[in-house]
Amino acid sequence: MIAPRPTAQECKVLPAAALRDRLALVTGAGSGIGRAVALRLLELGASVVGVGRRAQRLAETAELAKTSRFRYQALDLRDRPAAAEFVAGLGGLDLLVNNAGGQFVAPAAEISRRGFDAVTDLNLTAQASLLLAARPGLAARGGRVVNLSLSAPDRGLPGHAHSAAARAGIAALTRSLARRWRAEDIRLFCLAPGTVLTAGAGEELPAGDLARIVARTPLGRDTTPGEVAEWVAALGSGAADAVSGALIEVDGGAGLVAAAALPG
């Protein structure tokens, strides 16, 4: 049986001003999940800084946001000094959403050294570097961090050897820092969506492969951007403060079953 997908409105369970006066940095805010997260945080009263490489996409998010509480900056997060300088310039930060990421799908044997490095850089090293640079700003405000990952990264996913390695690394880093940064009241979480049918996912995998992956999930459906956004907002709001360092899989149970067969 396929569980019904919630509507965008049904996903919204947090009280209206849950994030009033908070400052959030959302990476990859110009598309897909990052855009949905940025718009939801704004709805809940936060001020949001969005970054990504393409200014045009960020400008489209600004159009949709229709509020001066959203500002954006084109930034390549793999340029670590530039990213560190940017985050330091923000000062106090209540929430960092490490969402920018992605990979190409290829059999493990066909991933070149440069290909492996490109994906682990984007999904692990650049995210870790941003986290470290944000630490003083987060410490100043008792901030929270949500790192996006893949569902069940330690199980692996065919065609995603490089990315699964990086995402499992981010989950481990989240746990390590949750312990070490607790004295500064910084909380870290790792959020692992299942299949979210964004344009980015559609570019990565053919529709037939995405449909097969979704069909294998125990709930028999994809995860909506609104569901991911609400989880990010809840983790950022303090509603989940009894949780620390956890990998939270919002994946329809996908991590409970064997991964779908894909090339690689």
Ligand X SMILES: CCC/C=C/C(=O)SCCNC(=O)CCNC(=O)[C@H](O)C(C)(C)COP(=O)([O-])OP(=O)([O-])OC[C@H]1O[C@@H](n2cnc3c(N)ncnc32)[C@H](O)[C@@H]1OP(=O)([O-])[O-]
Amino acid (1-letter code) at residue 170: I
Q: Which is nearer to ligand NDP, 121 or 140 (CB)?
A: 121
Tell whether residue 258 is a contact of ligand X (CB under 6 A).
no
Q: Do the Cβ atoms of 193 and 36 come closer than 8 Å?
A: no
Q: Which of 18, 33, 41, 214 binds ligand NDP (CB under 6 A)?
A: 33
Question: Which residues between 210 and 229 bind ligand X (CB under 6 A)?
Answer: 213
Q: Which is nearer to ligand X, 12 or 80 (CB)?
A: 80
Both tokens assigned to 233: 């907002």
CB 228 within 8 A of CB 184: no
Determine which residue in the list 19, 97, 119, 150 makes contact with ligand NDP, applying CB under 6 A. 150
Cβ nearer to ligand X, comparing 119 with 173? 119
Nearby residues of 203 by Cβ (< 8 Å), 6 or more positions away: none
Touching ligand X, residues 167-196 (CB under 6 A) = 195
Question: Can residue 201 be called a binding residue for ligand X (CB under 6 A)?
Answer: yes
Tell me the C-alpha distance between 130 and 133, whole Å: 5
Nearest distance, CB of residue 221 and ligand NDP, angstroms:
12
76, 119 in Cβ contact below 8 A? no
Report helix, strand or coil for 144: strand
Which of ligand X, ligand NDP, none has residue 264 at its interface (CB below 5 to 8 Å by kind)?
A: none
Which one of residues 9, 56, 68, 112 is an interface residue with ligand X (CB under 6 A)?
A: 112
3-state secondary structure of 147: strand
Cβ contact 133:182 at 8 Å: no
The site for ligand X (CB under 6 A) is made up of 102-104, 106, 110, 112, 114-115, 118-119, 122, 195, 200-201, 204-205, 213
